[in-house]
Chains A and B, each alone.
Chain A
Amino acid sequence: MAASAAQVQARVDLTEARIAALSAPSGEAGWAVEARREATARLRAAGLPTRRDEYWKYTDPATLTQAEATRASLFEASGEVPLYSGIDRLKIVFVDGVFDAAQSDDLTGEGLEVDRLSEALKKDIHWARDLYGVLETRGQDPVLRPLAALNTAFATDGVVIRATGKVSKPVSFVYLHQDESSDAILHHLVRVEPGAEVTVLENGPAAARFNKCMEIDVADGGAFHHVRAQGRDHERRAVTHMFARVGEGATYKSFSLTANGVLTRNEHVIEIAGDDAVAHVAGAAMGDGASGAFHHDDTVFITHDAQRCESRQVFKKVLRNGAEGVFQGKILVKPGAQKTDGYQISQALLLDEDSSFQAKPELEIYADDVQCSHGSTTGALDETALYYLRSRGVPRAEATDLLVLAFLAEAIEEIEDERLRGDIHTRLEQWLERRRQA
């Protein structure tokens, strides 16, 4: 559909209004200034997205693109043990999108180089220069991701990590939200050197509005593990991009837990570039519209550009009281990417008739010796199973929760580390229990 002149102008106005409210930090190195300038040009050329764009058909980006962030009240998690508390980790704290040195650990670790993004962009760190905005740029084709370009152009903080060996402790980003109208733009870089391994944890709502971009370059034989939980603030909005390039024999595994949040759009753009590589992306989302609107969108684009690689997408959503779920998942198998093994499943459990799930699974295959499968289901609770549990004395609400946890189990099983898996599972149980008592 051709856009009218008025629509074209409206997009330009929207984009310029947003740009006018932002400024890139000063004093950066020439390469960084150049990267910012190019990203701004990409943003202007694309224009910010609107509901009219095919890629935003199921999720309205208006509150993500408007000049100012919509206020989001703070969530009081009284007396709760924060996630990952029992796990020895390198803690890096951001408050409303600003690095907080006092609450963070020293930025050092075994097999690890860590720096603040703002510092890295002032220096001539060649690996950072080769990564900042680079994977994001590659990820603009064939689908434009203007909110990611905006991030590269205007990110104010973040961390750059270079794993040079097997990093003993996970690097843990803790995103605190303390200002009701905060608007945070963070950009992280992760370079995993050949044979190195690192785990990155994320948790917390971050801000009233959060735009986060992570570019991850996993060199041959390297491994990147990622587990995230997006906080429990009901009114926060988030758009996140994970851009990854996975080298020969390398591993990329990511899991996200989302409970609450008026709007979440999580994008993964993964390029499998080396033979025998593995990329797994999983997510569990639980939304209850009764405690504020809930809209969750997982958008995944995995490109197979090498032989004998495996990719998996496992996304599960439990929705009730008008909660909305979206899944857009694509597997692109390029010519020559023989023996590709691609799997994709997206499932929603709708606990009532007010909730909805939209799924757009896509396969595009240009090699002839591949194995790709995808499935998507939307269903209600299994009444027979519910009756069986109740006939054994388990009350309806508790029985429902057991079945909900069982439904989400397949996604949670994707977390390799047992302690992290246990932590996420406990978090889910607690969330369900609170709902039950509410």
Chain B
Amino acid sequence: MLEIKNLQVKLEEEDKQILKGVDLTVEAGKVHAIMGPNGSGKSTLSYVLSGRDGYEVTGGTATLDGDDLLDMEPEERAAAGLFLAFQYPVEIPGVGNMTFLRTALNAQRKARGEDEVSAGDFLKLVRAKAKELQIDADMLKRPVNVGFSGGEKKRNEILQMALLEPRMCILDETDSGLDVDAMKLVAEGVNALRSEGRGFLVITHYQRLLDHIKPDVVHIMADGRIIKSGGPELALEVEENGYADILGEVA
């Protein structure tokens, strides 16, 4: 589904290579996790895949079902089925959350040549999904992420994911800033979306999120490369011994 080959990326503004040849394939129905120390390039990978400005791809490819992601605008990537749950969801004063959600859903449907969802149907849909994530009516009415707590912001990300039903979900440190209960709630939201046709790439520092979202494959990223891949046991190893052992082993 998501296929990344020898991806090399530098910052646009300065001569700093962040990704130095990432190879990664996420199959439909699978959950892959990427772990790694700070500064290893995990978040950059998620931004580059979703099309954020400020990065320059200097080599390699990234495709979603064979389509070149790197050649698409961010909105085209979204319509193609890619979704990034942000580490720091953006506050947008003046834009109501409901308006935002409906505009996004209908824009994607339109791009795919599907009918727009009526206001009534949308309301039913969003209410049902919001309830599962314990998002109340007030949070839907407020401007996007404005005045939301850390946990509320992350739940709002998962709500968007549930509504947009992307085929490839990237979660960038979704566990950061969450207490245990909030993390469980978010993980349940993610698990509810797991299905045969959908792939996940879960980026995290810690094993604890992976206790709730069980990965099929775990990758360790360091200095702009995937240096080791394995089963869920790899995450446990990191939890016990830190990254030092693995880094030493590879070097």
**Which A residues lie at the B interface, using CB under 8 A?**
382-385, 387-396, 398-399, 402-403, 405-407, 409-410
Given A406-B92, A410-B94, A391 contacting B103 (CB threshold 8 A): no
Inter-chain contact B86/A392, CB cutoff 8 Å:
no
Q: Which chain A residues border B90 with CB–CB below 8 Å?
A: 384-385, 387-388
**A385 to B53 alpha-carbon distance, docked (Å):** 12
Among B29-37, B72-80, B188-196, B214-222, which stretch is in contact with chain A? B72-80
Q: Which chain A residues border B98 with CB–CB below 8 Å?
A: none
Nearest chain-A residue to B161 (Cβ)? A392
Q: Decide yes or no whether B137 CB sits under 8 A from chain A.
A: no
Inter-chain contact B51/A391, CB cutoff 8 Å:
yes
Inter-chain contact A405/B104, CB cutoff 8 Å:
no
Q: Which chain B residues border A407 with CB–CB below 8 Å?
A: 94
Given A383-B53, A387-B74, A393 contacting B164 (CB threshold 8 A): yes
Inter-chain contact A391/B78, CB cutoff 8 Å:
yes
**A407 to B90 alpha-carbon distance, docked (Å):** 16
Q: Decide yes or no whether B108 CB sits under 8 A from chain A.
A: yes
How distant is B238 from chain A, measured CB to nearest CB, in Å?
A: 29
Nearest chain-A residue to B108 (Cβ)? A393
Q: Which chain B residues border A405 with CB–CB below 8 Å?
A: 94-95
Given A391-B78, A392-B104, A393-B78, A403 contacting B95 (CB threshold 8 A): yes
Q: Decide yes or no whether B208 CB sits under 8 A from chain A.
A: no
Q: Decide yes or no whether B44 CB sits under 8 A from chain A.
A: no
Q: Which chain A residues border B84 with CB–CB below 8 Å?
A: 391
How distant is B104 from chain A, measured CB to nearest CB, in Å?
A: 4
**Which B residues lie at the A interface, using CB under 8 A?**
50-53, 73-75, 77-79, 84, 86, 89-95, 99-100, 103-105, 107-108, 111, 143, 160, 164
17 residue pairs A–B, Cβ–Cβ below 8 Å:
A383-B53, A387-B74, A388-B92, A389-B103, A390-B75, A391-B84, A392-B107, A393-B78, A393-B79, A393-B105, A393-B107, A393-B108, A393-B111, A396-B73, A403-B95, A405-B95, A406-B143
Q: Which chain B residues border A399 with CB–CB below 8 Å?
A: 75
Give the number of A-B contacts (CB < 8 Å): 79
Inter-chain contact B92/A391, CB cutoff 8 Å:
no
**A398 to B105 alpha-carbon distance, docked (Å):** 13
Inter-chain contact B160/A387, CB cutoff 8 Å:
no
**A392 to B160 alpha-carbon distance, docked (Å):** 8
Inter-chain contact B93/A406, CB cutoff 8 Å:
yes
Contact of A392 among B78, B91, B94, B99 (CB under 8 A): B78
Contact of A402 among B52, B77, B78, B103 (CB under 8 A): B103
Inter-chain contact A402/B99, CB cutoff 8 Å:
yes
Inter-chain contact A389/B94, CB cutoff 8 Å:
no
Contact of A395 among B50, B75, B99 (CB under 8 A): B75
Nearest chain-B residue to A401 (Cβ)? B103
Q: Which chain A residues border B77 with CB–CB below 8 Å?
A: 391
| Ranked 5 nearest A-B pairs via Cβ | A406-B94, A393-B78, A393-B108, A388-B90, A392-B104
Nearest chain-A residue to B103 (Cβ)? A394
**A402 to B101 alpha-carbon distance, docked (Å):** 12
Given A398-B103, A405-B94, A388 contacting B86 (CB threshold 8 A): yes
**A385 to B84 alpha-carbon distance, docked (Å):** 14
**A409 to B146 alpha-carbon distance, docked (Å):** 15
**A393 to B160 alpha-carbon distance, docked (Å):** 11
Contact of B74 among A390, A402, A406, A409 (CB under 8 A): A390
**A385 to B91 alpha-carbon distance, docked (Å):** 7
Q: Which chain B residues border A396 with CB–CB below 8 Å?
A: 73, 75
Inter-chain contact B53/A387, CB cutoff 8 Å:
yes
Contact of B52 among A387, A394, A403, A410 (CB under 8 A): A387
Contact of A391 among B50, B93, B99, B105 (CB under 8 A): B50
Q: Which chain B residues border A383 with CB–CB below 8 Å?
A: 53
How distant is B126 from chain A, measured CB to nearest CB, in Å?
A: 14
Q: Which chain B residues border A387 with CB–CB below 8 Å?
A: 51-53, 74, 90
Q: Which chain A residues border B104 with CB–CB below 8 Å?
A: 389, 392-394
- Other A-B pairs beyond A388-B92, A391-B50, A394-B75, 15, CB < 8 Å: A389-B100, A389-B104, A390-B73, A392-B104, A392-B107, A393-B104, A393-B164, A394-B103, A394-B107, A395-B107, A395-B111, A399-B75, A402-B103, A406-B93, A409-B94
How distant is B119 from chain A, measured CB to nearest CB, in Å?
A: 15
Nearest chain-A residue to B163 (Cβ)? A392
Contact of A385 among B50, B51, B73, B92 (CB under 8 A): B92
How distant is B173 from chain A, measured CB to nearest CB, in Å?
A: 16
Nearest chain-A residue to B160 (Cβ)? A392
Interface hub of A384, A395, A403, A409 (most chain B Cβ within 10 A)? A395
How distant is A432 from chain B, measured CB to nearest CB, in Å?
A: 13
**A383 to B92 alpha-carbon distance, docked (Å):** 11
Q: Which chain A residues border B51 with CB–CB below 8 Å?
A: 387, 390-391
Inter-chain contact B78/A390, CB cutoff 8 Å:
yes
**A389 to B53 alpha-carbon distance, docked (Å):** 13
Contact of A393 among B52, B75, B93, B143 (CB under 8 A): B75
Nearest chain-A residue to B99 (Cβ)? A402
How distant is B95 from chain A, measured CB to nearest CB, in Å?
A: 5
Contact of B107 among A382, A398, A403 (CB under 8 A): A398
**A399 to B100 alpha-carbon distance, docked (Å):** 9
Inter-chain contact A406/B75, CB cutoff 8 Å:
no
Nearest chain-A residue to B52 (Cβ)? A387
Q: Which chain A residues border B160 with CB–CB below 8 Å?
A: 392
Nearest chain-B residue to A387 (Cβ)? B52
Contact of A406 among B86, B95, B111, B164 (CB under 8 A): B95
**A391 to B91 alpha-carbon distance, docked (Å):** 14
Nearest chain-B residue to A394 (Cβ)? B107
Interface hub of B51, B77, B86, B104 (most chain A Cβ within 10 A)? B104
Q: Which chain A residues border B92 with CB–CB below 8 Å?
A: 382, 385, 388-389, 403, 406
Q: Which chain A residues border B100 with CB–CB below 8 Å?
A: 389, 392, 402
**A383 to B51 alpha-carbon distance, docked (Å):** 13
